[in-house]
């Protein structure tokens, strides 16, 4: 028998041993019901042990209540149901009392038609207070007065169930209460209270949502749970699952904090920064969670995480990637990711199944100085609409970019402040680019289609020109250096000044193309498609 098969056989045995029929010490018991009747087959876990409810909706877990890795008992919400909510917080978990030997937790479900539903993905709002550096201090005000009402307005017109997933960095470690003894700050509770929406919010933890290790200490598998102290206290478990329609969602924490929230490393012997990987407790839980699924009822696994499984160039980033993906064998995988403040799609085949990884822009733009991100994408929500076994992905910008579907630059209908040529968008600074310009440069067009994976250009006269990917967005690039210069000169008030930071400087984009036509007088048609083959946008352009 292969090693992988032996592993899953052990996992299956472990899962069976924790069902009510096998459980020895039933320290945690309870029921899962809907309209007063028990719901059978619902997965219940304490983060280590896992079981399913019996035909009466009853479950029992041999939880070691004093084990800090068993802070919660939570259910995996089954397809076609929702749990009770307190505000926008789904009550799929209960907090374990470490002092009580026997405890009982009951969960109530409500039936919901999920044949069509939307998941609204947001990421990296970095909500902070006046203690923040390199961030506009009007961020919370913009979030409450512009972003949240926009979310409510958009969800109200969907006409089907809507759920929100926040992909990490909702807050900032150094501006939360408790940082260096500070009493005030912006907490996770503040974030949830300010997000006044009438639909469930599921949160994934980001690197800046973690707590730092005490000075001189280094977290390991047994103590890394301490890095999630603030998150756990206010938002519940950091890894959990739920099912909507025919999609099974797994929320994971793949930022393994060694000491602090910044500075990733791939060195397995590192003693500072953080790794992109899961801890052993998550591996144990994830293997059981996927093994408990009925494959005939699930079309795909949707991973909700802050950091990418794959890096920006499509290469392995998560250190334990093969092990994680092996759990998902036999399923299509869709990973929704934050962290990089960019809109970027990675498409692969993994174990003969499609695998999509979607990076999402920062909902704070460039930390609220502008609603644009550094690679030219707008701050937005992304609507993943699931129906009939398929899904679509639509970027919905807000703020100054509300209603904007793309940004294009040509020399006739979409003129910029200078001519668009074969050299435009090649440098991160306009002054450096201008040094390379010659009178012989050919006219061109530049297109920025967020959400796009491919872009095809055709010329009305039949010619075939040259397309180049990965350019700088002119709108953001030129704004950034102008705002930075004014900040340096003191022309912008303190608290709104743009300080130089690598994560804010202009970046090349994977969804911006420059096209130099064979016939400069031709009408150019650009058609952009996403990774699933859906048309994102199409537009006619002119190089002259």
Q: Sketch out the chain's domains with CATH numbers.
A: 3-107 (2.60.40), 113-401 (3.60.21.10), 407-542 (no CATH)
pLDDT at 367: 81
pLDDT at 351: 85
Could you tell me which of 161, 310, 324 has the C-alpha nearest to residue 247? 161
- Whether the Cβ atoms of residue 132 and residue 176 lie closer than 8 Å to each other: no
User: Two tokens at 65?
Assistant: 């209540």
- Whether the Cβ atoms of residue 129 and residue 184 lie closer than 8 Å to each other: yes
What letter would DSSP give residue 155?
H
The four Cα atoms 481, 363, 274, 358 give a dihedral, to 10 degrees, of -100
pLDDT at 134: 65
Work out whether strand 300-305 and strand 247-251 pair parallel, antiparallel, or are unpaired: parallel
Q: Mind listing the pLDDT tens digit of every residue in the chain (544 residues)?
A: 344 443 444 444 444 444 443 434 779 999 999 999 999 999 999 999 999 999 999 999 999 999 999 999 999 999 999 999 999 999 999 999 999 989 999 999 999 999 999 999 999 999 987 666 667 778 899 999 999 999 999 999 999 999 999 999 999 988 899 888 788 889 999 999 999 999 999 999 999 999 999 999 999 999 999 999 999 999 999 999 999 999 999 999 999 999 997 789 999 999 999 999 999 999 999 999 999 999 999 999 999 999 999 998 899 999 999 999 999 999 999 999 999 999 999 999 998 999 999 999 999 999 888 999 999 999 999 999 999 999 999 999 999 999 999 999 999 999 999 999 999 999 999 999 999 999 999 999 999 999 999 999 999 999 999 999 999 999 999 999 999 899 889 898 877 778 777 888 999 999 999 999 999 999 999 999 999 999 999 999 999 9
pLDDT at 219: 97
């Amino acid at each position: 028998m292969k090693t992988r098969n032996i592993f899953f056989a052990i996992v299956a045995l472990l899962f069976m041993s924790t069902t009510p029929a096998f459980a020895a010490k039933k320290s945690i018991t309870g029921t899962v019901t809907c309209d007063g009747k028990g719901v059978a087959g619902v997965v219940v876990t304490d983060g280590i042990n896992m079981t399913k409810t019996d035909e009466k909706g009853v479950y029992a877990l041999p939880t070691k209540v004093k084990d800090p890795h068993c802070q919660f008992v939570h259910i995996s919400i089954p397809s076609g149901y929702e749990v009770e909510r307190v505000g926008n917080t789904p009550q799929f978990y209960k907090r374990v009392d470490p002092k009580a030997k026997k405890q009982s937790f009951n969960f109530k479900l409500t039936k919901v038609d999920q044949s069509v539903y939307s998941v609204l993905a947001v990421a990296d709002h970095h909500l902070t207070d006046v203690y923040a550096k390199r961030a506009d201090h009007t961020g919370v005000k913009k979030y409450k007065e512009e972003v949240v009402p926009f979310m409510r307005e958009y969800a109200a017109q969907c006409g089907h169930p809507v759920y929100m997933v926040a992909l990490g960095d909702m807050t900032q470690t150094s501006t939360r209460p408790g940082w260096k003894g500070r009493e005030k700050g912006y907490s996770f509770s503040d974030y949830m209270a300010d997000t006044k929406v009438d639909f469930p919010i599921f949160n994934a933890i980001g690197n800046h949502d973690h707590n730092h290790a005490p000075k001189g200490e280094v977290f390991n598998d047994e103590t890394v749970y301490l890095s999630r102290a603030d998150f756990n206290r206010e938002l519940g478990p950091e890894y959990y699952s739920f099912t909507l329609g025919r999609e099974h969602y797994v929320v994971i924490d793949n930022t393994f904090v060694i000491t602090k929230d910044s500075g990733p490393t791939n060195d397995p012997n590192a003693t500072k920064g953080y790794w992109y990987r899961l801890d052993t407790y998550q591996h144990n839980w994830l293997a059981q969670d996927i093994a408990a699924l009925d494959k005939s009822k699930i079309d795909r696994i949707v991973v909700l995480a802050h950091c990418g499984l794959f890096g920006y160039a499509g290469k392995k980033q998560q250190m334990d990637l093969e092990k994680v993906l092996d759990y998902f064998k036999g399923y299509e995988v869709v990973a929704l990711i934050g962290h990089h403040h960019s809109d970027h799609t990675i498409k692969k085949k993994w174990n003969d199944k499609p695998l999509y990884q979607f990076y999402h822009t920062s909902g704070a733009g460039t930390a609220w100085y502008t609603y644009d991100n550094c690679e030219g994408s707008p701050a937005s929500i992304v609507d993943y609409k699931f129906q009939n076994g398929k899904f679509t992905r639509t970027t919905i910008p807000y703020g100054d970019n509300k209603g904007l579907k793309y940004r294009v630059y040509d020399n006739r209908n979409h003129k910029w402040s200078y001519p668009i040529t074969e050299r435009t968008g090649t440098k991160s600074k306009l002054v450096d680019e201008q040094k390379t310009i010659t009178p012989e440069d050919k006219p061109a067009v530049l297109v920025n289609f967020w959400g796009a994976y491919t872009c095809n250009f055709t010329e009305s006269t039949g010619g075939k020109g040259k397309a180049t990917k990965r350019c700088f967005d002119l709108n953001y690039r030129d704004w950034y250096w102008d705002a930075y210069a004014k900040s340096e000169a003191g022309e912008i008030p303190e608290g709104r000044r743009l300080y130089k930071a690598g994560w804010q400087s202009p970046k090349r984009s994977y969804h911006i193309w420059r096209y130099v036509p064979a016939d400069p007088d031709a009408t150019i048609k650009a058609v952009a498609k996403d990774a699933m083959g859906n048309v994102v946008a199409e537009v006619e352009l002119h190089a002259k």
